[in-house]
Structure formats: structure tokens, C-alpha cells
Amino acid sequence: MRMRNRHALALTLATAATLAAVPATLPAAAATPVNSPNSPAAKAHCPQLSKKLTWYGDNRDRLQQMIDERGRCGSHRGHDQKRPVAAFDWDNTVVKNDITDATIAWSLHHDKILRPATWKSTSKWMTDDADKALTKACGTKVPVGKPLPTSTDTDCADEIFEVREDGKTMSGAAAFAGEWDHRHTVPQYAWVPQLFAGHTVPELESYAAKARKEALAAPIGATQTVGTHEIPGYARYYDQQRDLIRTLKKAGFDVYIVSAGSEPVTEVWSKSVGVDRKHTIAIRSVLDLKGRITSWNQGCGDVPVNKGEAIPYIDGKRCWINQEIYGVKGKSAWDKQDPSHRIALGGGDADTDVTFVGDATGAHLVLNRNKNEVMCRGYDNADGRWVVNPMFIEPMKQKPDLYPCSTAAYNEPDGSKGPVLREDGSVVPDQVDAVY
């Protein structure tokens, strides 16, 4: 059952165009017939990325080439062919800053978090230390299921946000422990929709919409305080990404958002770039018979309804793309598919995106946030299709040291770090941060 299904509430939960060789006796103009999709006349009518928006180096041209090759002016000219797919992460990829943080911050400022029966019941991995810290900070006077006074209770707001942000208590104790596949999930991400258990989807959407309004109205660089945490207080849609998505859609691509956030929150934001609910994939909570969010999530591949074991996170994003876009079922949804069942363009900014962005057959777009694994892939550029760009707003400074690609940039399933390997098994050498 999908959270987006408002009526199903039961808990049961380069194919580049190839020009013919031209005889030496023919004039150069004859090499590209006027009616060819690659002719200047034809390309003038193909959807074009705006030249008024700034991209790094030749990145616009490289993305435009992929659009021309894979879209309606290239290999996707016949109506009987499947539409090429582009998929983007959301936070810090399509927008600047984190919409989940913005929604949680707004909710804490407005007393929208409901007291659970026990904090430990909110996550299968929550530690006794975290349970005790949250219970002490938030108290037991508020009846179960009623709003906590986080707008005035700084200690309670601090503990909740610290667990969400760093997976720790304010005293530094681990908030989550146990075993999980670190390429399939991360407990503090899975905890976000669980934190809103007891609310209906429209309620959560309204919180996200109000947080969005405040974040877009705040000036660039603004901050806000949650408890004693200072976090970004603004968000902006990247004009370049809006334009890219618009151009891709005009060129015949299906465009999806694939986020590790809560799906109702992501849907509130994604519609403003023309991506509807059907094309927005994020953590999908199971609803109870009254339409309220529960601590259970929908599963992916061979993982059934669960408590957070299979969210759209690293390899989990591949699973959700394979399952929801290409109809791959069971355990195979976790595997890299053949080129005809893979996206043409993938866009991301962090290690959470590295697998699905790497699966793209046409272009791998990465916004540089100094995240080791994805930047190792981007700078190694094994297939020549990686497009690395600084963030469009407040880009990060150059990373002073090398990315540890050869030793400790790969996120192992057990949580340890290892070398980043190419498909042939060779080790990616350490990389210099060159695009900033």
C-alpha cells in the first residue's frame, strides 16, 4: 500500500545518432542532411537548455548532447519506443538545503510532534540511552498521542533534532544500535516519518507546505534555531535544475524524484518543478485504518513491509527505481539491470545517490558537496559520462586533502569503509577536488 493512495489505508499493508561516412568528393554540407536530427536546422527545434543560466565549464553542452541523443531529437523519435528516464535526488540536488530538516524544524517550533507510548517503540534500532534521554528531556506529563511542547521545551527539541541529525543524544551516546545494511538504510533517516506517526498525510503535507513557504521567503544565508541547534533557515529551487527538468520533459523524458525523505513532504516540493505524485518516490509509510501514519514502511525487492530496513538510500534508491519505474520484482530489484532497464540521466549530490546516479547510461550529474564515494566516482569518470558541478548557491570551497578513494571512501554494508572499485575490480585512485 502506498502512502500516496489516499483510499487504500489498510495496515496489511550512447545511443548516439551515427552519421554515415561521407565520400571525400562530396561537399562538407552533405554530411548532415537538412532533415537529419543532427542538422543545425533540426537541432534549432530541439528543446534547449537556457544559455542564460550558469553551469561549470562545458557541463551544459554535455548535458545538452545527452538530451539530443536520448530525447525526441535522437534515439527516442518513435512513439512506439519507451520514453527515456531521468531521475534526481531532491535535497541539495534540485533545491538548496534540506526540506526534511525544514519540515522538522517547523514542526518542533509549532508543537506538532506527538508523544509516543515509548520512544523506543519509534525505531527498532533505538538504544536504551536514546530512549532515556528523550524520555527525560520530553517528560511524561503530556498524554500519549498529544503534542509535545517543543516550541518552548528546548531540551526536548534538542534531543529530537540531535537524534535525527547525527544519530546521537545530546550527551553523545549512540541513538541507534544493532544490525542493518548500511547501503539499504540509515536509522535516523527512517526515523523521520516514524517521528510523525499518528498524523494523517494531509496534516504532514500542511506542515511541509508551511515550512516551504517560510524557507523560500527567508533570504539566502538565513539561519534558524532548533533548541540550541543552528541550521539553515532558507531553501531555494536551483534555476539550473528547474530548467534541466523542464527541458528533459520537453524532449520526451519521464522525470522522477527519488528521495530518502518522507514521501508526503517531498511531494509538496516536487510539484513545483512539474513532477507529480506518480513520479515522486520517497519513504512510503504504511497507514492505519484511519489514515494515520504508522512506524511501518512499505518494502522494496525481497524486503516486505518493514520498520525501515529498505528505504531509498544508496543501493535502496536503485531498488526503488527498478521496482517502481521498471517493474523489477523480488531480490533482482537490488541488482544493476541491463541498459534498456536503466535511467538515462541520474542526478545527485551525496553518497546516498551514488548507486542510482552511477546506473545512468547517458549522464551522471553530481553536485559537489565533498562526499567521498560519489566524488570518487565523479572524478574518476570511468565511462566519460560523469558531469561534476559545484552547488549553484553557496558552493563549497575546495576540499584541502585528497578523496580517500583507494582506501576508505566506499560505504560497506556493515558500516565500515573500504576502497572504491571500478566494474573491472580495479581500485579508484585518490582524487583531487577539482570542481568547486
Span 164-218, pLDDT tens digits: 999 999 999 999 999 999 999 999 999 999 999 999 999 999 999 999 999 999 9
Contact, 400 vs 425, CB < 8 A?
no
Domain layout of the chain by residue ranges: 85-98+235-418, 99-232
Confidence of residue 233 (pLDDT cuts 50, 70, 90): very high
Dig out the grid coordinates for 271 from the structure: 510539484
Give the span between the Cα atoms of 202 and 196, in whole angstroms.
12
Long-range contact list for 274-279, CB < 8 A, 24+ apart?
A: 274/245, 274/246, 274/249, 275/245, 277/4, 278/4, 279/254, 279/255
DSSP label at residue 27: -
- Whether the pLDDT of residue 22 is over 70: the answer is no
Higher pLDDT: 378 or 18? It is: 378
pTM of the model: 0.89
- Whether the pLDDT of residue 20 is over 80: the answer is no
* pLDDT at residue 76 in the model: 57
- Which top CATH class is 85-98+235-418? alpha beta
Average pLDDT on 261-270 reads 98
User: Lowest-confidence range among 72-76, 127-131, 158-162?
Assistant: 72-76
Spatial neighbors of 15 by CB under 8 A, at least 6 apart, are 69, 70, 74, 75
* pLDDT at residue 73 in the model: 87
Confidence of residue 2 (pLDDT cuts 50, 70, 90): very low
Span 100-113, pLDDT tens digits: 999 999 999 999 99
